[in-house]
Structure 1
Amino acid sequence: MSETNGHRKLRLGMVGGGEGAFIGGVHRIAARLDDRFELVAGALASEAARAHRSAAALGLDPKRSYADFEVMAREEAARPDGIEAVSIVTPNHMHAPVATAFLRAGIHVICDKPMTRKLEEAEALAEEVRASNALFVLTHNYTGYAMVRQARAMVEAGKLGRIRVVQVEYPQDWLTEPVETDGTKQAVWRTDPARAGAAGSLGDIGTHAMNLASFVSCLEPREVCAELTSFVAGRAVDDDVQMLIRYESGAKGMLWASQVSPGNENGLKLRVYGETAGLEWLQTAPDSLRVSPFGEPPYLLSRGGPGLTPEVAEMGRVPAGHPEGFLEAFGNIYSAAADAILAHERGEPRPLGLLPGVADGLAGMRFISAALRSSQAGGVWTAL
């Protein structure tokens, strides 16, 4: 049994994420960043030869390289040294069946977002989570940034007063041309409704934007007025989303997600305005949080600097001025997942804290469903 900093290292499996995949590598780095997990098994691709090549490249024991995720769930659950958690990094259409198999085997699940391809699948998966003794974590990784946590803490503490306006945008440009027709792997499945679901940019990055806005503002959307557009000819899913949001509290919001906006690589940006102050955070400069008290000069809070809550101050791995970003935020999610799994192992009641879970997954799928229905009806206000 290996230990790191007093913690037992957890045995991790992975489904998906084989050769040519992007997000699988990110999850593997995040899982190892704080030495909380050790990857020991995988069903890394849907085709057997590719799955075994991928496992060999990662140094996995050939006996624990599987060509079928259901076989993996069954055999790993039966081993005395079997995996304790599985990371699901497949295209969206496989999230529900893979998660279901491992939950039924009693293995904790760490799943990439969105939770499923369809709302009906999400509701069925939520029932599986409720029936299982295993935990379900959804990797909305932007909630793992230190300054995002600081922003939420300030909202919770009333530093902004009652929230009035929430604006979030997430523009990219990588689908400006029809790269899916060239066989680009990441584009092929993301623009295929059978694998990604009916939502394109809405499901891929719009759900991240919505989740970030809700996480920081502590507000839940009630209705959306959405317009989804496929600007690239022949594309079967949306590549640009613009919408208005009405929150349960009476606050108003705006969301823009686009993958056809030249000059934007990963431009996630959040602004939250209350009665007494505003906050602004950019994923491209994630170590800073701009705070604007009404009638006073704005100021910056920095990761590792003064003025942070004790919990946020402890999140950094390196001193202030040494940038932390995407991988570290992902690592925070994985480390918190390890804490939750070990606490669960001790018999503590299903502690997820600020970790995204099945409720966030359901909220994301209801958001997608409402936005699709709103746009199809010509942009009418549609309830979640």
Structure 2
Amino acid sequence: MKRKLRMGMVGGGQGAFIGDVHRRAARLNGDIELVAGVFGTNVEKSRQCGAELFVDPARVYPNYEAMIAGELALPADKRIDFVSVVTPNLMHYPISNAFLKAGFHVLCEKPIAMSAADAEALGKTQQASGKFFALMHNYTGYPMIKQAKKLIADGVLGELRKINVEYSLGWLAAPNAGKQAVWRVDPKQAGISGCMADIGTHAEQLIHYLSGLRITAVSADLASFIPGRELDDDGSVLLRFNSGARGVIFASEVSTGEENNFIIKIYGSKAALEWHQQSPEDLIIRSNDAPMLVYRRGWPGTGEEAQKVSHLPAGHPEGFLEAFAAIYRAFADAIHADLNGDQPVLDFPGIQDGIDEMRFLEAIVANSAGDAKWTAL
């Protein structure tokens, strides 16, 4: 029988949106238990958070270095199996790097680092460690995204020609958007980009995940509409792919009134597909010579890949948390396989996705700030 995996967490303290999402998602499949953590830089608040989460006070550590030392001091059958890193961007690389070097598997929020150089360095650490690394691009966990990937791989769309992605939010339209906004617009904590690092990377990664295509050049226009804001809160990027296909990413966090409007459209020589995150149960297929077709999660006609990450029968809506849980489940399955001496299936975003996203961010920031028409990746 599989035992529960022991999870640690760095970040995700009181009032942290994404940390709470990670904890809920990790619990959903019933095979992961949170047993240790550093839930913020304020030691007292971190302890309070640990108490609320029923974590042993002795395993609520003052910092991640103490957590590594404390866990390594425990017997192997007590220490954590992996750590989930849900801090602001600034700490993703050093924390992930330290835990990998200490012999722990790592699941980390995106973006992977503050620079492509650090992302590449982390890749070398991960390879040397032999441990698994997952990057939380949760949209790859949706059943209908799995279905879309399979249809593209099967040639249903034909030769891919055009990929359009929109990711519109409105939550940063005001100057004071709350605690979660503070670090995302601070270059010391978020890095070289704001909006594009926060949500544009989801678009970039999902394009590659679905199509298999590589972005070879970008032409970008990044902007910050709020006076005094140092990082972009809006951006448009033209894309060229290694196949000759073209594309565009429009990402904005100042699109007033928008919720989480993430849409991807992929056009091929035979057909096109369309998926909306706000109605994720549907995958739309269009062509010039047949009626529009809609795949629905849980219904006959969906493939094994989509069915594997479905939790409920059709008609019982699934969404954001379940997509996160699909990544945790795949990551946990890989760790269980490794523990049992079996060959793991790495069905989750990883190091290379993180390296690619940092190269993408550096290219679009440089292009937007410079005079070049196109910047090669």
Runs of at least 4 residues of structure 1 off by over 4 A? none
> Does residue 39 of structure 2 align to residue 44 of structure 1?
yes
Query: TM-score of the superposition, structure 1-length normalised?
Result: 0.96
Match of 1:71 in 2: 66
Q: Indicate if the aligned counterparts of 2:284 and 2:295 stay in contact, CA closer than 8 A.
A: yes
Cα RMSD for the two superposed structures? 1.1
> Residues of 2 paired with 1:104 and 1:372: CA distance?
31
Q: How many residues align?
A: 375
Candidates 275, 286, 289, aligned match of 1:281: 275
Task: Give 5+ residue unaligned stretches, structure 1.
Answer: 1-5
The one-letter amino acid of 1:377's match is G
Conservation of the 8 A alpha-carbon contact between 2:41 and 2:63: yes
Residues 1:31 and 2:53 aligned together = no
1:185-264 to 2 correspondences below 5 Å: 185-264=179-258
TM-superposed deviation, 1:215: 1.0
- Tell me the distance in 2 between the aligned counterparts of 1:260 and 1:139: 24
- 1:18 is the counterpart of 2:8: no
- 1:150 is matched with 147
Task: Look up the SS of the partner of 1:374 in the other structure.
Answer: helix
Distance 1:355 1:316 in 2: 16
Aligned equivalent of 1:177: 174
What TM-score, normalized to structure 2? 0.97
The SS at the match of 1:256 is: strand
| Cα deviation code 1:115-170 (max 9, x no counterpart) | 11222221211111111121100010000000000000000011111100000110
Q: Is the 8 A contact 1:12 1:83 kept in 2?
A: yes
Per the alignment, residue 361 of structure 2 pairs with 368
8 A Cα contact 2:12 2:19, kept in partner: yes
- 1:107 correspondence with 2:104: yes
Of 41, 46, 51, the residue aligned with 1:56 is 51
Match of residue 296 from structure 2:
302
Report the 3-state secondary structure (helix = DSSP H, G, I; strand = E; otherwise coil) of the residue aligned with 1:291. strand
Q: Percent identity?
A: 47
- TM-superposed CA distance for 1:350, in Å, is 5.6
Please point out which of 79, 82, 94 is paired with 1:97.
94
Contact 1:227/1:379 (<8 A) preserved: no
Contact 2:71-2:80 within 8 A present in 1 as well: yes
Contact 2:160-2:269 within 8 A present in 1 as well = yes
Residue 359 (str. 1) matches residue 352 (str. 2)? yes
Give, as a single letter, the amino acid of the residue that structure 2 aligns with 1:112.
E
For residue 220 of structure 1, what is the amino acid of its counterpart? Answer: R
C-alpha contact (below 8 Å) 1:92/1:117 kept by paired residues? yes
**Partners of 1:349 and 1:46 in 2: how far apart?**
38
The one-letter amino acid paired with 2:105 is H
Aligned counterpart, 2:315: 321
Contact 2:143 2:305 (8 Å CA) reproduced: no
| Distance of 1:29 and 1:261 partners within structure 2 | 28
Whole-angstrom CA distance in 2 between matches of 1:350 and 1:252: 35
Structure 2 counterpart of 1:366, one-letter code: R
Alignment-derived partner of residue 312 in structure 1: 306
Q: Return 5+ residue gaps in structure 2 as ranges.
A: none
* Letter paired with 2:233: D
Counterpart secondary structure, 1:106:
coil
* Native 8 Å contact 2:221 2:235 kept in 1: yes
Aligned partners of 1:224 and 1:370 also within 8 Å? yes
* Structure-2 separation of matches of 1:299 and 1:318: 22
The letter for the 2-side match of 1:144 is G
SS in 1 for 2:167: strand
